[in-house]
Copies of this chain bind each other. A is one copy, B any other.
Amino acid sequence: MEAAKDLGVDITSICGGLGLCGKCKVIIREGRELLSPPSSSEERYLEPGELRAGFRLACQARFSGRGKVVVEVPEQSRSGRQRLLVEGKHVEVELNPAAHIAVLKLPKPSLSDPRAHFERLISKLPHKGSLRADLRVLRYLPRAVKKGNWTVTIVWHTDVGLLDVRPGEDERLYGFAVDIGTTKLAGYLVDLRSGELVSVSSAPNPQIPFGEDVIARIAHSRTEEGFRELHRVIIQGINGLIREACESARVDPRLVVELVVAGNTLMHHLFLGLPPRDLAEAPYTPVIDSPLDVRACDLGVEMLPTGNVHLLPNVAGFVGADAVADVLSTGIHLSSELSFMIDVGTNTEIVIGNSDEMHAVSCASGPAFEGAHIKFGMRATSGAIERVWIDPNTLDVKYSVVDGVSPKGICGSGIVDALAEMLSAGVIDTTGKILEREHERIRKGPDGMEFILAFADETAIGKDIVITQRDVRELQKAKAAMHTGASILMSEMGVSVKDVERVFMAGAFGLYIDPASAKRIGMLPDFPLEKITQVGNAAGVGARVALISIDKRRECWEIAQKIRYYELAAHPRFQEEFMASMYLPHLDLFRFQEVVEKMDGLVVADRHKNLLEKLKSRLV
């Protein structure tokens, strides 16, 4: 793994080299004897035949350093380029950015007018008066004035002050908005004179090798070194995003005068280099929730060095600026209609409310839908199965693959489809159990029963792509987390599914997932399909809105302060609700009365009978 990193070779690693995901399989072609013996983790993730064939986990096999080892990275261990969601629903906003630009013709200094360069400049501003001066800008101010022969273009920021002085007339003015997801980064280059989106860029979050989810990243940041590393790589990642978007639009990054950042609270903290330790334990206190302006050069962001980096405000430890940006872009806070917003990701945020009140939870849904912990899981890159249909009579499978090539694995939207279809076809029961049955697609594998989605001869990896019993359990846990959050939030607010008038599905899955499948497995409460709007990367859209409108930016802090946050894990009903939500589609405790009436019709495994008894007793 280390050698591959040094060489820039692309190896999938979801757990960050801890031997926990089994995704970094490589084949040793020469020099097997020079490597350490297989670890217990390798014995768990590699089948005996694979071990014999020379397969190892890249993160586990250690090389003595003497002699020569030849390693092959097979197709399914290559992470490839992710298909990332940067698109979002368009929102109409009046252009009113925080950054301003003006061309000024300065009077030439003379012995009868010996004012300083800065004061001559201030006196020519449209709004005369004071303007905070940045020392770095002052240092090149005289050169710019002279080079421009007393004509300069100045850039200033309503909240921050003087950002830049350019020689001559040069009214190019750009801003950048970024959504830092736990798994993905999405960037938007915007022309601040027109408000138009000029180009987009995206990349996997470069922190992934250090931990796949929020909890793993917090754990990695416990050492000072790990913390600095996470800070450093995310800044580098954002710099890459800016560079890529600027290159494709042929814009000099120094013309980017403001960056607006949305992300969950942990991403916010790691980006700023704020210690995230308190996010690791209750009550999950952030360092700061307020919006913050920081100079680009103080963070090492490669844009105009004296440009402004604006951090959108957080709500709480696990509901961050990304949820605020979601609300801003969907307009929940402005409407009297009750809206429900779910931003599905490694961490899933749910907000419910209207212009009077807003409530939020965060669900540790985990990266199962990103392909982690799923045997053939992969990100939504070329070769990923993204749609699945199963004939309920024959169990014949049809699927579609990203880029239309032979499949290598299965991505989030495919996984949701597969689970929904397996449930409808009776391959699994409502407890998620794969039922034993005589069929060529159903067999016993090393991890219990498994269902074959694609046979070896159809795939690019030369073996069957299956959904295992263990996979189903992972997906159940992930969807249960979301469903639990939604249920508790609605009960706390005293509303039911019928009261909700608009449902927004945001995030990477928000656009690609089939809402019907999501409902069938109980990822979402039973909202009528016609109320559901897929809004794509709403956090990214919110960041763009805050970039081009200072009025909208001010709304963000109002939103953050208005949202009431509930800590799910500490909720008295969390355990029971979570257990009930494990069912497919769910046992909605909030709607338990109805459910219990139909209970005899459910296929309930022995080990869940106790729970049902307990639930009944609660109702009595």
Contact = CB atoms under 8 A, between A and B. Distances in A.
B275 A567 contact: no
A141 interface: yes
Contact of A570 (B111, B115, B294, B317): B111
Contacts of A143: 275
Given A109-B285, A110-B283, A135-B299, 4 more contacts: A114-B283, A117-B287, A133-B288, A135-B272
A277 interface: yes
A111 B567 contact: yes
B286 A116 contact: yes
Contacts of A273: 135, 139
A288 B115 contact: no
Q: Top 6 closest A-B pairs, CB basis?
A: A118-B288, A116-B286, A116-B289, A109-B285, A114-B316, A111-B283
Contacts of A317: 114
A274 interface: yes
15 contacts: A111-B282, A113-B283, A114-B283, A114-B317, A114-B565, A114-B567, A115-B285, A116-B289, A116-B316, A117-B278, A130-B290, A135-B273, A138-B292, A139-B273, A139-B287
Interface string A132-172: 01010011011100000000000000000000000000000
Contacts of A288: 116-119, 133, 138, 141
Contact of A135 (B113, B135, B292): B292
Oligomer copy total: 2
A138 B285 contact: no
A356 interface: no
Nearest to A316: B114
Given A139-B273, A275-B142, A292-B133, A287 B118 contact: yes
Interface in A277-305: 277-278, 282-290, 292, 294, 298-299
Contacts of A130: 290
A314 interface: yes
A289 B117 CA distance: 8
B275 A116 contact: no
A117 B282 contact: no
A127 to B, nearest CB: 16
A370 B31 CA distance: 79
A287 B134 CA distance: 12
Contacts of A114: 283-285, 316-317, 565, 567
Interface in A551-590: 565, 567, 570
